[in-house]
Amino acid sequence: MLKKIQSIIYKFNQSLLRMAENTLNLTSKRATDQAENNIPKKKTKKQIGSLGQSEGCRRKIAMVVAYNGKGYFGVQVNPGFQTIESDILPALSKIGAITQAEAECPAKMWFQRGSRTDKNVSAAGQIFSLKAVLVPDLIIKLNEELPPQIRAFGFVRTTNGFDSKNWCDSRTYMYMTPTFAFAPIEKFITDDYRTTSDILERIRAILKKFVGTHKFHNFTSGVKYEEACAKRYIINFECSDPYVRDGIEFITIRVKGQSFMMHQIRKMIGLTMAIVRGYCPESTIEASWGPEKVDVPKASGLGLVLEELHFLGYNKKFGCDGIHEPIDWSKHKEDMDKFKEEHIISSIVAQEKEERVTFNWLRTLQNHNFDQNRLYGPEHPWYFMHKKLKKMSPKGTNENEAASVVQHSQEPDLENQQTDTSSLVDHSEKSITLEPILCSERTFNVCSKMTDPSSSAFDCQTSQSLESTQNSERTIEIFSNDTENHFNNVHDKVKLESEETKNNRQSQITSN
């Protein structure tokens, strides 16, 4: 009995020992595991690879495109009008880069343009950002579907959040115009006109006035002086040396700015032309930045070209990270310059020579009053030009006679006028005593007819002026004599009608 009790106690003790050993082993194992977990592990670097073309995949890209804007109503899609994007988007859909639904609604593929261009405005380096399928030979296939005046040159992979409009730091535009657009108003303009160094220096001095941050509410439409969007920053405004193309002397004006409003560049250049030609003083520029409304002329859109978009901030942040490519088109510069010369510059020169766009636009400058007071009423907006021309009038001309010319330049209506007709005779007599080529609205209208390219008088005058400078002076003299004869005829007509009116009145009195 005693032995059985001893064996039971022995077995119990052995089981307690085993339990204690198991507990000790479990505790030590947990401590070891925790210690191993506390040891920091070395991080392995991931292998970073450059972004390939990923053909067949959908990727965000930036694509450079150049186009001639003649015949297009701007770049942005506008239903019912022919635009640049209305040709590019269907072409991308045909080659499989985007779907038909995305072509109809570009926002579905995050489509954006770097800068908008207006009607008939060209671009030598427009940037489009979009998410497209990178089909093989995308640029080659796209150009096969585009018209000859639109060409794509290349694309680069970008970040998913890239936007060609918001990431663009600044924009550079060029404006190509004949030098006779800056000729003084007293000059007789022909194709053989050549500018002078003094005029070029004055152009450059006026362009520098626009550099900096100013309120350009008078250089666009729908923007008030108080609005924040009226402030724009102009970085650079330069004028090139003159050069001759097809017998016409041109200059190229380049402006670089952070951003531009609609018509802003064309109005800045139009105001510069008006100042150099003598229609308004240089103080008009400062007046246009003030709260008052200023009538600023808008130059023709023919010579305006979007030359380059700058992405310095994007290239600094992502262009050197080893993954993304910088937005740089230097490898396509030769092809882009060739397209610019053959399809943009040559088109501007040909259209200017055939249609005389700038010449016809210059004739509209006399319709603007700028910031000058309309001393003679709203029907005489050429007050400042009249003041300048009056100073050039021949010696011996009475100032009162000069003032009466502008005041009574329009022909009187004898049928509806009830006042004494003797005053009309006096006014017409005064109008012909002054040299008619200088200070008269009727003279300006005659000049417009004689400088119209479609008229025979223009061809005659141009052919004579092209012979030599002496012939040009003789042409101006002939023009002055013709204008004086015109006023003499008007004077005789008014005098004859006034005599008939007096005779009718006397006959009525006699009959009564």
Asked if 297 and 219 count as a contact pair (C-beta separation under 8 A), the reply is no
CA distances from 234 to 14, 328, 414, 481 (A): 96, 23, 55, 48
Q: Which of 180, 85, 120 is nearest to 306 (CA)?
A: 120
User: Is 118 a residue of the active site?
Assistant: yes
User: Helices H, strands E: what count in the chain?
Assistant: 17, 10
Antiparallel, parallel or unpaired: β 248-257 and 231-239 = antiparallel
CA distances from 72 to 37, 63, 91, 116, 165 (A): 70, 20, 17, 13, 21
Q: Which of 256, 264, 215, 219 is nearest to 234 (CA)?
A: 256
Q: Residue 170 in 3-state DSSP?
A: strand
Report the C-alpha gap between 471 and 449 in whole angstroms.
20
Token pair, residue 53, equals 């073309």
| DSSP secondary structure letter of residue 257 | E
Catalytic residue among 33, 87, 118, 328: 118
Token pair, residue 324, equals 């993304």
Residues paired with residue 237 on neighbouring β-strands, in sequence order:
255
Residues paired with residue 64 on neighbouring β-strands, in sequence order:
127, 154
Q: Map tokens 């635009």 to a residue.
A: 83
Q: What contacts 305, CB < 8 A, 6 or more positions away?
A: 121, 122, 123, 124, 173, 174, 175, 176, 340, 344
Q: What contacts 70, CB < 8 A, 6 or more positions away?
A: 120, 122, 149, 347, 351
Report the C-alpha gap between 83 and 118 in whole angstroms.
10
CA distances from 342 to 149, 330, 355 (A): 10, 19, 19
Residue 175 annotated in ligand binding: no
Which parts are annotated binding residues? 173
Query: Any idea which residues carry the catalytic annotation?
Result: 118
